[in-house]
């Protein structure tokens, strides 16, 4: 059983929680906690072994934790996701493969693309693909996407190299539910053409950022980042190619963390309890 807790910090929280678990004869397999002293917040993720009524445990936890505590007992092991794409295949294919072999930690409901490029690969994995063309009318474009999402149950929208900027209206419908892979180590090179920016600036490393999408472009809470070395020998095109490998890896890692309920969000930052 997995238990995640986010609440105001106070002395004795660990004792109270572990005491409750001991009383219920739940054995702690792993426990990770973090305290942000500045924000006075307590975060915990537990894996426990043993039988217990979920509602009862949730109720008991609530009673010993500070008011306003967020508690999830045994969140769903398999989240549901909708994937948005444009033309690049690498992140999508990785997700489809993991989905097919049941190692994604989530279940892909459908894929929405603004080009037909990736339609066939979805068909090969029996995943519905919806073409939503991005014409000049952004509102209509987004309405189309929203209408498709309404046909499905989903926990997250994953932007797997979806190359359109989403409006405030769109983003606000899916608060902390949209995960994006941006192809630069943010906050460097936000916005368009990060590899070109990196090339122009002559940086010696490149790498992507997986983050939650908020109203501010490329300013949402960061989940995972990684870099690879770069040097003068790389053209912009080379950087784009080299970047694909690491984009795939970073998005995969971020999704795994989110789907495993290891990511806590506050103050536009994340706590990741691995």
Exactly one of 53, 94, 218, 238 is catalytic; name it. Answer: 218
Q: How far is the CB of 22 from a second copy (least distance, A)?
A: 4
Binding span for a second copy by CB under 8 A among 26-34, 65-73, 133-141, 144-152: 26-34
Nearer to a second copy, 46 or 145 (CB): 46
Does residue 196 belong to the site contacting a second copy (CB under 8 A)? no
Q: Is 155 in the site for a second copy (CB under 8 A)?
A: no
Contact call for residues 210 and 224 (beta carbons, < 8 A): yes
CA angle in degrees (0–180, nearest 5) for 30-5-226: 70
Cα–Cα distance for residue pair 246/215, rounded to 1 Å? 25
* Site track 171-190 with a second copy (rule: CB under 8 A), x = hit: --------------xxxxx-
Residue 271, interface with a second copy (CB under 8 A)? Answer: yes
Annotated catalytic residue 126: no
Query: Which tokens hold the place of 119?
Result: 């339609």
Q: What is the DSSP string of 186-205?
A: TTTT-SS-HHHHHHHHT-SE
Conformational region of residue 269, where left means phi above 0, alpha means psi within -120 to 50, and beta covers everything else: beta
Q: Which one, of 109, 238, 118, 254, lies nearest residue 181 by Cα? A: 254
Binding of a second copy by 101 (CB under 8 A)? yes
Record the tokens describing residue 192, joined without a space: 């368009």
- For residue 140, the minimal CB distance to a second copy (Å) is 31
Residue of the chain from 81, 252, 255, 258 that contacts a second copy (CB under 8 A): 252
Task: Return the residue of 224, 239, 251, 258 that touches a second copy, per CB under 8 A.
Answer: 224
Q: Using only the alpha carbons of the chain, give its radius of gyration.
A: 20
Q: Cα dist. 83→66, 74, 99, 115, 192 in Å?
A: 37, 25, 12, 13, 21
For residues 108 and 222, which CB has a smaller minimum distance to a second copy in the complex?
Answer: 222
Residues that are catalytic: 218
Binding residues vs a second copy (CB under 8 A) = 11-12, 14-16, 18-19, 21-22, 25, 27-31, 33-37, 89, 93-94, 97, 100-101, 121, 124-125, 185-189, 201-205, 209, 221-227, 231-233, 235, 245, 249, 252, 267-272
């Amino acid at each position: 059983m997995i238990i995640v807790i986010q609440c105001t910090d106070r002395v004795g929280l660990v004792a109270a929680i572990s005491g409750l678990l001991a009383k219920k004869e739940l054995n702690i397999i792993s426990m990770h906690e973090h305290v942000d002293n500045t924000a006075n917040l307590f975060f915990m993720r537990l894996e426990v072994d043993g039988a217990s009524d979920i509602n009862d445990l949730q109720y008991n936890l609530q009673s010993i934790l500070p008011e306003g505590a967020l508690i999830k007992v045994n969140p769903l092991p398999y989240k549901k996701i909708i994937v948005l794409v444009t033309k690049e295949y690498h992140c999508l294919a990785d997700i489809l493969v993991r989905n097919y072999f049941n190692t994604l930690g989530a279940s892909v409901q459908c894929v929405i693309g603004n080009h037909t490029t990736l339609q066939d690969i979805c068909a090969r994995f029996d995943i519905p693909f919806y073409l939503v063309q991005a014409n000049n009318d952004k509102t209509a474009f987004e309405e189309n996407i929203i209408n498709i999402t309404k046909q499905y149950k989903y926990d997250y929208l994953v932007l797997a190299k979806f190359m359109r900027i989403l409006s405030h209206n769109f983003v606000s419908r899916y608060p902390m539910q949209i995960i994006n892979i941006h192809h630069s180590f943010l906050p460097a090179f936000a916005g368009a053409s990060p590899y070109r920016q990196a090339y122009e600036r002559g940086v010696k490393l490149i790498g992507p950022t997986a983050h939650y999408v908020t109203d501010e472009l490329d300013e949402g809470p960061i989940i995972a980042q990684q870099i690879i070395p770069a040097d003068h020998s790389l053209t912009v095109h080379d950087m784009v190619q080299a970047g694909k490998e690491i984009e795939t890896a970073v998005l995969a890692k971020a999704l795994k963390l989110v789907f495993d309920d290891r990511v806590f969000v506050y103050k536009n930052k994340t706590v990741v309890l691995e």
